[in-house]
A and B are shown apart, each in its own frame.
Chain A
Amino acid sequence: MDLAFLWFVIVGFFFVGYFVLDGFDFGVGMSLPFLGKDDTDRRQIINTIGPVWDLNETWLIVAGAALFAAFPYWYATLFSGFYLALLLILVALILRGVSFEYRHQGRSPQWAKRFDLMIVVGSAVPAFLWGVAFANIVQGTPIDEAGNYTGTLFTLLNPYGILGGLATLLLFFTHGVQFVALKTDGELRERARALAGRSGIVTIVVAAAFLVWTVVAHLGVDHAPLIAAFAAAAAVALIGATVANRVGREGVAFTLSAVTTLFAVATILAALFPNVMPSTIDPAFSLTIENASSSQYTLEVMTWVAVFMIPLVLLYQGWTYWVFRKRVTRASIPVGAAH
């Protein structure tokens, strides 16, 4: 198999991992004002992702590094081009990450409130902007002959980009609320299930609009049926997740919303193929899997590393989730300041 194509898939796999895993972290973070009636609730919610948020965020670092190693030109154009959007994402991730750690160190309710706000904003901003970024990658951006992006932050905020942002925002929100339902008990669990049911409906509408737009925009390409099939699979999984939630199958609902993310990314990658960053100035300036990738030798080295490491990584990360499989009960949250 062509190694550059394989790495196109592997980079996609890392982004799927990132969006599925940090996606529910974002949703959990955004759900605080909706589900957290008191401080114990909020701590219960945050503790559902306590042991894993850092691990989940690491998928972004690995996805970024894999992009750098396998597609240096894609990495360079994307990161320098989407400069201010990425700056916002970085600041949001920084504030969110330290807030998990610092929130429980304070002694006053004001202290915790301040960090709760940072968790909410720090989760919502990346959840929205990742969708904007990927929608724009697919739609094409002004890339000049030297492979440099010539637009601004506002170039990205076009209707399709904003729709993509709203789709990921809602998808991650529902995914995260679903996770809260799966990982907590009592009244909080019930509230989370009810909220996931309501937000699921809105998510279906917005995500369907985005998927249909994507499919229609790429009807002319040879593999249009594949794009449509991925989009349909994403839609079916999303509807299935909402149904499963309604009938009280929290595990199934959560899994299906993860599958939705998988097929949504697959739809985007299929729509991109064989480009990685199409240019709206001149198709000849587009970055493709072929012209943006690393040399054969580098890809071979990286393939060996990936082949050995990915199964191992999945194994021990799966084990971690198994260790922390129990629900976070209200009783497990100590009264007063924690250590």
Chain B
Amino acid sequence: MLEWLDPLALARWQFGLTTLYHFLFVPLTIGMALLVAILQTAWVRTGTLKYLHLTRLFGRIFLINFAMGVVTGIVQEFQFGMNWSDYSRFVGDVFGAPLAMEGLLAFFLEATFIGLWIFGWDKLPAKLHLLSIWMVSISTAMSAYFILAANAFMQNPVGYQINEMRGRAELTDIGAVLTNPVVLASFPHTIFASIMFAAVVIVAVAAYHLSRGQYDDTMRTALKFGGVVNLIAFAGVAISGDQLSLVMVATQPMKMAAAEALYETAGPASFSLFSLGTPDGSNEIFSVRVPYLLSLLSTHTLTGEVEGINDLQAQYAEQWGPGDYTPIIWVTYWAFRWMIGLGALAALISAVGLWITRGGRRPAGWAWKVAIWAAPLPMIASLVGWIFTEMGRQPWLVFGLMKTEDGVSPNVTGLEVLISLVVFTIVYGALAVVDFRLIKRAAIEGPKEWEQHSDPDAVDPQKLATVY
């Protein structure tokens, strides 16, 4: 077998690519379902037409995106068994339960009510129809909870015991798995990040139309709504992120050390904003550092001691035997910074944008462009956040229990994984182009086609229902 046809490396690439790709659609679905539900609630309660127009416009973007989230999600579930069968055998007893709960409690609900919402405008009473989008929103959040609980088990295994005879982890406490401290922090972190993601899309669409001077009243409302939501969500992301780093220090100190490229244990520890030198930070030439900040983030004290990579590596080697227990430092170091930096930049742009458009002011043309081009920022921040948290878990697949190399399917050849990797790359690539174009077109069209609904009392539900 050719050396580059390494099933392990290819399976890891495939998981990384398909998961990140799936996560392009998931957060927009989670965030947009909630924001559309809020907009539709405003329409139902006030009868003000602009809320209906915005519900329809962003509902349409939500739908184009939603189909991709669904179909790429099936790949995620199948992939555990296809590429990671030994992992599935080892953790299935624990890991399968939240996945099955996700299906039974969340996916069915989501799929049912999404159908009712899209096609039910003319078939359900207004309030029941409104309830449908809220059910979709609630079920997307529920599904996020269960899958993050499953992921949390990989970061910080709890509620299990090892059955030596079967060679597997067995569930002993489902409550512990579902209240893993990691999921309690990663859930709000993910949800708020998803809301940011959707909010900046709303801001970008509004900015596009305002820059062209069209739909002024409606789009001002959208701009303000998106901007304010983005700021609130950013506060949520920051607070939950802070909580998540405390949990990380307690459960996966190596990940925190790798996030900072902190080789030697230090207290007080400073936080480097960026550094020049070797990419993995092992030989630093120049860096901009904020004193005490890493101690503050890791321990909530100014001088708390933060364990360094070298000490942890020595400890782990003693505990689990010789081996390399260090993730790829340059990946974790830079991913951590890009995540925080891009998220903060998106919030800053919203804050400035709200200020310069206050009271109906019209900013210079470039300001609108900034708002439009800022749309991908929370998306990229979310993706590098996942790269950070999953690469930071390496070399473990399940922290302390199973290494990544031991989880791969032993009977699947490198060629088979390569075939599927190539197929997914081509299919996903082509669909991304189509999906992006359709979303862009819907965004540019704006609420135009619903101008027919100009009298709030005479909105015809027949004309609202979607027909494929």
Chain B residues 30 to 78 lying within 8 A of chain A, measured CB to CB, are: 60, 63-64, 66-68, 70-75, 77-78
A73 at the binding interface (Cβ < 8 Å): yes
- Which one of A84, A95, A324, A338 lies within 8 Å of B416 (CB-CB)? A84
Q: A65-B103, A72-B88 are in contact. Are A60 and B112 (CB under 8 A)?
A: no
CA separation between A35 and B315, bound complex, in Å? 69
Task: Let me know if A43 and B468 touch, CB within 8 A.
Answer: yes
CA separation between A98 and B71, bound complex, in Å? 8
Contact residues of B: prevailing secondary structure: helix
Q: Which residues of B contact A77 (CB under 8 A)?
A: 85
Binding site for B on A (CB under 8 A): 43, 46-47, 50-52, 54-55, 57-58, 60-62, 64-66, 68-70, 72-73, 75-81, 83-84, 86-87, 90-91, 93-95, 97-98, 100-105, 146-150, 294-295, 297-298, 301-302, 305-306, 309-310, 313, 316-317, 320, 323-324, 332-334, 338-339
- Which one of B95, B107, B124 lies within 8 Å of A62 (CB-CB)? B107
Q: Identify 13 residue pairs between A and B in the complex whose beta-carbon atoms are under 8 Å apart, listed by A's number.
A: A51-B115, A55-B108, A57-B111, A70-B100, A72-B93, A75-B96, A97-B71, A98-B71, A101-B63, A104-B467, A147-B89, A294-B171, A305-B105
Residue of A at shortest CB range from B97? A69
Residue of B at shortest CB range from A50? B468
Task: Let me know if A294 and B96 touch, CB within 8 A.
Answer: yes
Q: A65-B103, A68-B80 are in contact. Are A101 and B67 (CB under 8 A)?
A: yes
CA separation between A69 and B468, bound complex, in Å? 36
Task: Let me know if B119 and A150 touch, CB within 8 A.
Answer: no
Q: Smallest Cβ distance from B158 to chain A, in angstroms?
A: 15
Q: Which 5 A-B pairs have the closest CB atoms?
A: A72-B92, A79-B81, A69-B96, A80-B85, A62-B103
How many interface residues does B have (CB within 8 Å)?
A: 74
Task: Let me know if A58 and B111 touch, CB within 8 A.
Answer: yes
- Which one of B91, B95, B97 lies within 8 Å of A301 (CB-CB)? B97
Task: Let me know if A61 and B82 touch, CB within 8 A.
Answer: no
Q: Which residues of B contact A317 (CB under 8 A)?
A: 108, 112
Q: Which residues of B contact A320 (CB under 8 A)?
A: 112, 115-116
CA separation between A237 and B71, bound complex, in Å? 33
Stretch at the interface among B232-240, B295-303, B404-412: B404-412
Task: Let me know if B170 and A295 touch, CB within 8 A.
Answer: yes
Task: Let me know if A101 and B64 touch, CB within 8 A.
Answer: yes
Residue of A at shortest CB range from B168? A72
Q: Which residues of B contact A83 (CB under 8 A)?
A: 82, 409, 412, 416, 420
Q: A72-B89, A83-B412 are in contact. Are A62 and B104 (CB under 8 A)?
A: yes
B352 at the binding interface (Cβ < 8 Å): no
CA separation between A198 and B393, bound complex, in Å? 58
Q: A65-B99, A148-B85, A323-B124 are in contact. Are A79 and B78 (CB under 8 A)?
A: yes
